[in-house]
């Protein structure tokens, strides 16, 4: 019987390694940009075509490579960053893995041009599927340019599982953000399909964050700076009042490397305890500098998950630093050095203060009988108002007992300006959450939030299908500034949003101008609705039961529906009931939640047995 264990060919081993290192085009972007940073580049350009499926190109002005180094860089387990296993626990560089470029070359067409400063000519190497097809001298600037074309061309199964171009571009943009924010001293440029998305000059941490996330972020940042023997912390947290329901602006960097760490995230969240609105998430950009031997970055292939030597102490320091920064922000909000005279109108300062005039009735005697002549005397400045016949104002009003929002009975009177028309008496609102209506067989109890959600869902679904949404024109357009990747999501959904009533004046690089809204949407709710739609798109949750249009209509209906606590009059409640039972499926919301229930006379009788 022959032996069955054998060594794999190099190209097969490289393809297997590529599955661990290169999961999508964003993985290639991360590897190439980190290599450029390790080469001491001062300017890095990223060029993308077709969301990285056709081309990923990184150009840097770093040290460059010799002819031998350029060839060796694509061999397995070849690296200039480490020489012994102990070096793995004292890393000061990023792209140390020897299989990175070899794995990329195994599943793509790779071309590299590189030259060192003292060399007259550079080197160009072309590789296809781990095989070097050409190597020759070439005239090229100092630095390195690596082009990766036709990713996964020889692994069709992997290419088939790539997401849409919009999703892959969003992942590339996220990787670009993480690398660029960690190295503000380096200039970065990002070009997608011949369109420049970012051009970031060398700057400070704050300027880099603002240049990426938009100028709206600048006013929301609270600085943090803390130095200890265990860790040095600097960076920014967002002010509590600007917290969002989405989790987009949360970044941890350890030794200039982006990481994800749920334990440290909990430390930041706990520091915001009592300061955030319900279900809101804090924003933070925190840079931690720790000794390299106190952190292990080798527990995950992408190096985004790390293990700290003393996590409990680090947790306490991060939490205390954030609380201290927020405390300083709260104190600084009151400016004790402010000249209060500047708050007074100019005319008031010029004229000076005037003593108030006090006018009294010198003849007033509280012990004098009301019929006395002295009670009618007044001085020249005192004119008491005669008491009118107050009882006449209440003539004809009948006291009624109404059910309050809390469900208790209390007497209520008609107002002086109430209409003489009789109102509906068989419908009322309970706890500003339920609508109660009488039936021949008992009571109908409707959840007003879910009922309105069902009504809006079917309306929006019709508008998305036939594109006949009605819009209300705004007197002043709403200007909405967001990161570029979020604006891109809205740009992709522009046609659907306009079909339900949105009118966009302009969708720029990171600015959205809205000049019209759907009829049922309030201006104050626009930001939360668009945030919800963006979050829903970013989650990329597969759902076989709903189409893209269904999911969008459901998400918008959920955000626009009446909330618990909204007061309704009898006419509004009756209109909602009529619209609900005109729906195709009034019993359930789009998510399958129950909308109403009935309480029959038998149920009530059973309560008194």
Tokens representing residue 420 in the block? 């003489």
What are the distances in angstroms from CA 488 to CA 16, 128, 413, 483? 34, 33, 55, 9
Average pLDDT for 144-170: 87
Q: What CATH number did the domain enclosing 304 receive?
A: 3.30.230.10
Mean local confidence (pLDDT), 25-42: 91
Largest CA distance in the chain: 133
Residues 6+ apart with CB under 8 A from 496: 464, 549, 552
Same domain, 76 and 174: yes
Q: Is residue 413 part of a domain?
A: no
- 51 with 120, same domain: the answer is yes
Token pair 């007197």 is at which residue? 475
Same domain, yes or no, for 25 and 147?
Answer: yes
Query: Across 135-139, 162-166, 585-589, which has the greatest mean pLDDT?
Result: 135-139
Residues whose CB is less than 8 angstroms from the CB of residue 359 and which lie 6 or more positions away in sequence, other chains included: 379, 381, 382
Contact between 575 and 427 (Cβ < 8 Å): no
pTM: 0.67
pLDDT at 201 over 90: yes
Q: How far apart are CA 135 and CA 321, in angstroms?
A: 54
User: Mean pLDDT over residues 237-266, rounded?
Assistant: 86
Which secondary structure element, helix H or strand E, spans residue 425, and what is its range? none
Q: Looking at the structure, do residues 113 and 172 belong to the same domain, yes or no?
A: yes
Among residues 444, 414, 371, 418, the alpha carbon closest in space to that of 599 is found at 444
pLDDT of residue 85: 54
Q: Are residues 564 and 488 in the same domain?
A: yes
Tell me the pLDDT tens digit for each residue of 531-562. Answer: 878 877 776 554 444 566 787 888 888 888 88
**Strands, E, within 453-552: which ranges?**
471-481, 503-507, 511-518
Same domain, 22 and 169: yes
As a whole number, mean pLDDT of residues 50-57 equals: 93
**Residue pLDDT, tens place only, 263-300:** 999 999 999 988 887 778 899 999 999 988 888 776 55
- Which CATH number covers residue 152? 3.30.565.10
Is there a single domain that holds both residue 497 and residue 579? Answer: yes
Same domain, 42 and 131: yes
Element (H, E) at 501: none
What count of Cα atoms within 13 Å lies in the side-chain half-sphere of residue 538?
19
Which pLDDT value is given to residue 422? 39
Residue at which a domain ends, from 275, 309, 330: 330
- Report DSSP letters for 45-98, one per residue: EEEEEGGGTSEEEEEE-S----HHHHHHTTSTT--SS-SSGGGGGS---S---T
Domain boundary among 141, 169, 200: 200
**DSSP-assigned states of every residue in 157-176:** HHHHT---HHHHHHHHHHHH
Q: Looking up tokens 């969240």, which residue turns up?
A: 269
User: Which range among 87-101, 182-196, 548-562 has the greatest average pLDDT?
Assistant: 182-196
pLDDT, residue 55, reads 95
Which of 8-12, 428-432, 556-560 reaches the highest mean pLDDT? 428-432
Same domain, 51 and 195: yes
- Looking at every residue in the chain, the average pLDDT score rounds to 79
Shared domain for 319 and 240, answered yes or no, is yes
pLDDT in tens, 129-147: 888 999 999 999 999 999 9
Average pLDDT of the residues in 96-100? 53
* pLDDT for res 316: 93
Least confident range of 37-51, 74-88, 585-599: 74-88
- Residue 375: what pLDDT? 46
Give the dihedral sign, CA 436/438/439/442: positive
What is the distance between the alpha carbons of residues 140 and 122, in angstroms, rounded to a whole number?
6
CA-wise closest residue to 489 among 561, 539, 425, 422: 539
Q: Do 557 and 453 sit in the same domain of this protein? A: yes
Q: Cα dihedral sign for 315, 232, 247, 238?
A: positive
Tell me the average pLDDT across 505-515. 83
Last residue of a domain, one of 275, 296, 330: 330
578 lies in some domain: yes
CB burial readout 121-158, b (16+ within 10 A) else e: ebbbbbbbbbeeeeeeeeebebbbbbbbbebbebbeeb
Give the mean pLDDT of 321-332: 80
- If one compares 293 and 207, the residue with the highest pLDDT of the two is 207
Give the per-residue pLDDT at 401.
Answer: 44
The DSSP secondary structure of 341-395, one letter per residue, reads GGGS-HHHHHH---PPP----TT--TTS-TTSGGGG---TT--PPPP--GGGGGT
pLDDT at 2 over 80: no
**Confidence band (pLDDT; 50, 70, 90) for 154?**
confident
> In this structure, which long-range contacts are made by residues 72-79, counting pairs with CB atoms below 8 Å and at least 24 apart in sequence?
73/101, 73/112, 74/101, 74/102, 74/105, 74/110, 74/125, 74/127, 74/130, 74/132, 75/102, 76/10, 76/13, 76/14, 76/17, 76/102, 78/102
Residue 408 has a pLDDT of 42
* pLDDT above 70 for 84: no
SS (H, E, C) 210-272: HHHHCHHHHHHEEEEEEECCCCEEEEEEECHHHCECCCCCEEEEECCEEECCHHHHHHHHHHC
Higher pLDDT, 37 or 378: 37
pLDDT at 200: 93
Between the alpha carbon of residue 186 and those of residues 249, 284, 314, the distances in Å are 21, 21, 29
519-523 contacts, C-beta under 8 A, 24 or more apart: 519/470, 519/471, 519/472, 520/456, 520/560, 521/560, 523/474, 523/478
Mean pLDDT for the stretch of residues 511-534: 82
Span 380-420, pLDDT tens digits: 444 554 444 545 444 554 444 444 444 444 444 444 334 43
Instruction: Look at residue 407 in the predicted model and tell me its pLDDT.
Output: 44
Could you report how far apart the first and last alpha carbons of the chain are, in Å?
Answer: 84
Q: Which secondary structure element, helix H or strand E, spans residue 407, and what is its range?
A: none
Q: Say how far apart CA 131 and CA 498 lie, in whole Å.
A: 51
Interval 454-470: pLDDT, tens: 998 888 888 877 766 77
Nearest-angstrom CA–CA distance, 508 and 513: 8
Residue 295 lies in a domain: yes
Give, in order, the Cα–Cα distances in Å from 473 to each of 47, 162, 460, 517, 601. Answer: 40, 41, 18, 7, 49
Phi, psi of 328 (to 5 degrees): -65, -40
Q: Report d(CA 97, CA 78) in Å as an integer.
A: 8
Tokens of 587: 């019993």
What is the residue whose two structure tokens read 């305890």? 273
What total of structural domains would you count in the chain? Answer: 3
Residue 95 has pLDDT above 60, yes or no: no
Residue 77: predicted pLDDT: 64
CB 514 within 8 A of CB 480: yes
Q: Are residues 266 and 309 in the same domain?
A: yes
Q: Which domain holds residue 34?
A: 10-200
Residue of 107, 140, 84 whose CA lies nearest to 22: 107
Q: What are the C-alpha distances in Å from 77 to residues 99, 103, 181?
A: 5, 10, 29
Helix axis angle for 448-466 and 570-580, nearest 10°, is 60
β-pairing verdict for 109-115 and 221-227:
unpaired
- Domain presence at residue 284: yes
Which CATH number covers residue 506?
A: 3.30.1370.100
Say how many C-beta atoms besides its own lie within 10 A of residue 461's C-beta. 21
Question: How far is Cα 504 from Cα 489, in angstroms, rounded to an integer?
Answer: 14
Which has more pLDDT, 205 or 518? 205
In sign, the C-alpha dihedral spanning 584, 585, 591, 594 is: positive
- CA–chain centroid gap for 401, Å, is 47
């Amino acid at each position: 019987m022959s032996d069955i264990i054998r060594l794999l060919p190099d190209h097969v081993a490289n393809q297997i390694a590529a599955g661990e290192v290169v999961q999508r085009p964003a993985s290639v972007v991360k590897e190439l940009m980190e290599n450029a940073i390790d080469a001491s580049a001062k300017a890095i350009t990223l060029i993308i075509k077709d969301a990285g499926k056709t081309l990923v190109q990184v150009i840097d002005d770093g040290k460059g490579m010799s002819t031998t180094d350029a060839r060796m860089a694509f061999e397995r387990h070849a690296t200039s960053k480490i020489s012994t296993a102990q070096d793995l626990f004292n890393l000061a560089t990023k792209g140390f893995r020897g299989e990175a470029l070899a794995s990329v070359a195994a599943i793509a067409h790779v071309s590299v041009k590189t030259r060192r400063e003292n060399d007259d000519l550079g080197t160009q190497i072309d590789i296809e599927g781990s095989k070097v097809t050409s190597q020759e001298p070439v005239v090229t600037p100092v630095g390195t340019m690596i082009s990766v074309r036709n990713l996964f061309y020889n692994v069709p199964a992997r290419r088939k599982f790539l997401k849409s171009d919009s999703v892959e571009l969003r992942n590339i943009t996220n990787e670009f953000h993480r690398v660029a924010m960690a190295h503000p001293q380096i200039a970065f440029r990002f070009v997608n399909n011949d369109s420049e998305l970012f051009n970031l000059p060398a700057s400070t941490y704050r300027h880099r964050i603002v240049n990426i996330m938009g100028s709206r972020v600048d006013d929301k940042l609270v600085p943090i700076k803390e130095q200890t023997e265990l860790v040095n912390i600097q960076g920014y947290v967002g002010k509590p009042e600007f917290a969002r329901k989405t989790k987009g602006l949360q970044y941890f960097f350890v030794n200039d490397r982006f990481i994800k760490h749920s334990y440290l995230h909990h430390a930041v969240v706990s520091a915001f305890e009592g300061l955030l609105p319900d279900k809101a998430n804090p924003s933070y950009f925190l840079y931690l500098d720790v000794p390299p031997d106190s952190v292990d970055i080798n527990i995950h292939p992408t190096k985004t998950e790390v293990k700290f030597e003393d996590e409990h102490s680090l947790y306490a320091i991060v939490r205390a630093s954030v609380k201290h920064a927020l405390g300083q922000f709260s104190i600084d909000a009151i400016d004790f050095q402010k000249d209060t005279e500047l708050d007074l109108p100019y005319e008031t300062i010029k004229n000076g203060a005037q003593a108030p005039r006090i006018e009294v009735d010198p003849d007033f005697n509280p012990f004098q009988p009301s019929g006395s002549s002295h009670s009618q005397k007044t001085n020249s400045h005192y004119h008491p108002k005669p008491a009118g016949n107050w009882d006449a104002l209440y003539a004809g009003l009948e006291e009624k007992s109404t059910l309050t929002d809390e469900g208790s009975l209390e007497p209520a009177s008609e107002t002086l300006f109430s209409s003489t028309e009789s109102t509906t008496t068989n419908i009322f609102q309970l706890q500003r959450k339920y609508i109660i209506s009488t039936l021949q067989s008992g009571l109908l109890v409707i959840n007003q939030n879910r009922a309105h959600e069902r009504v809006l869902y079917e309306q929006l679904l019709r508008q998305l299908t036939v594109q006949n949404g009605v819009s209300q024109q705004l007197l002043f357009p709403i200007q909405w500034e967001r990161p570029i990747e979020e604006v891109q999501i809205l740009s992709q959904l522009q046609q659907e949003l306009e079909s339900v009533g949105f009118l966009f004046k302009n969708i720029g690089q990171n600015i959205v101008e809205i000049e019209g809204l759907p009829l049922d949407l309030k201006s104050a709710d626009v930001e939360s609705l668009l945030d919800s739609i963006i979050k829903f798109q970013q989650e990329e949750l597969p759902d076989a039961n709903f189409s893209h249009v269904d999911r969008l209509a459901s998400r918008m209906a959920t955000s626009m529906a009446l909330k618990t606590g909204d007061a309704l009059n009898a006419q509004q409640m009756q209109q909602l009931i009529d619209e609900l039972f005109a729906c195709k499926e009034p019993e359930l919301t789009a998510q399958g939640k129950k909308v109403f229930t009935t309480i029959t006379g038998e149920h009530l009788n059973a309560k008194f047995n």
